[in-house]
Amino acid sequence: MIADQAVRAEHYRAWNSPRPIAVHAEEETVDDILALVRAFRRQTHFCHISSRYETERLTAAKEEGLPISIGVTPHHLWLTQADLPRLGGFGRMKPELETAADRDALWRAVQNGVVDVIESDHAPHGIAEKESENPPWGVPGLETTLPLLCQAVREGRLELARMVDLISAAPRRLWGVHTPPETYTLVDLDATYIIERARLRTACGWSPFEGMQVCGAVREVWIRGVQVYDGERVLVGAGFGQNGFAA
């Protein structure tokens, strides 16, 4: 993170990409970044906001017409400071977990359209690392983001079309990612299960959402007309992927 506002200003002044500047800004730093957005009119994405204060400031900025977008993570939507005694070092992340009131403010921002993107902020540190005296910041979230959001749809907290936009369509729009034809994912929304370590594919071998009831299982993934995943196995080798920014 860049703490010096003058250095940030130089960064904004020099930015010449059509893609947004992505910032990690917490609490009052949000106001500092918004001042730069006003001055330079650069499209800016606020990553993983975590508090009611940030939600209120960024909602007002959108109403002002500033060119910003907003992301939030599943861990800040499902977890709070009350989970820290249970999680210990496994709950150490940046931004840190906040109160239930902050979490509820984030959910309102998701539901009313203020939040643009749900982002996993995937940081798969190993169990030994997180159990150490100085555990690194961050939690895994890549494979649990979809089922958690599918569960939110099932519970009526989120519309299905809104979920698809948050995790797929909006990120593509914001960053100009090309989606080739015949590329899609088939999800079984009726599949329900408990998040358990034994089921996880991530090499880190744990999840802060362990024990939670979720739904939504990926059955097939197709890219450019080729099936690349069958619900159990990856069916293509290294090098099959392409740079979505290059198209």
Domains contained in the chain, CATH given: 14-178 (3.20.20.140)
The predicted-structure confidence for 118-139, as pLDDT tens digits, reads as follows 999 999 999 999 999 999 999 9
The predicted-structure confidence for 230-246, as pLDDT tens digits, reads as follows 999 999 999 999 998 87
The predicted-structure confidence for 10-64, as pLDDT tens digits, reads as follows 999 999 999 999 999 888 899 999 999 999 999 999 999 999 999 999 999 999 9
DSSP the chain: ----HHHHHHHHHH---SSPEEE---THHHHHHHHHHHHH---EEE-S--SHHHHHHHHHHHHHT-SEEEEE-HHHHH--GGGHHHHGGGG--SSPP--HHHHHHHHHHHHTT---EE--------HHHHTSSSPPS----TTTHHHHHHHHHHTTSS-HHHHHIIIIIHHHHHHT----SS-EEEEEEEEEEE--GGG--STT---TTTT-EEEEEEEEEEETTEEEE-SS-B-S-TT----TT--
Residue 2 has pLDDT above 90, yes or no: no
Q: What is the pTM of this model?
A: 0.94
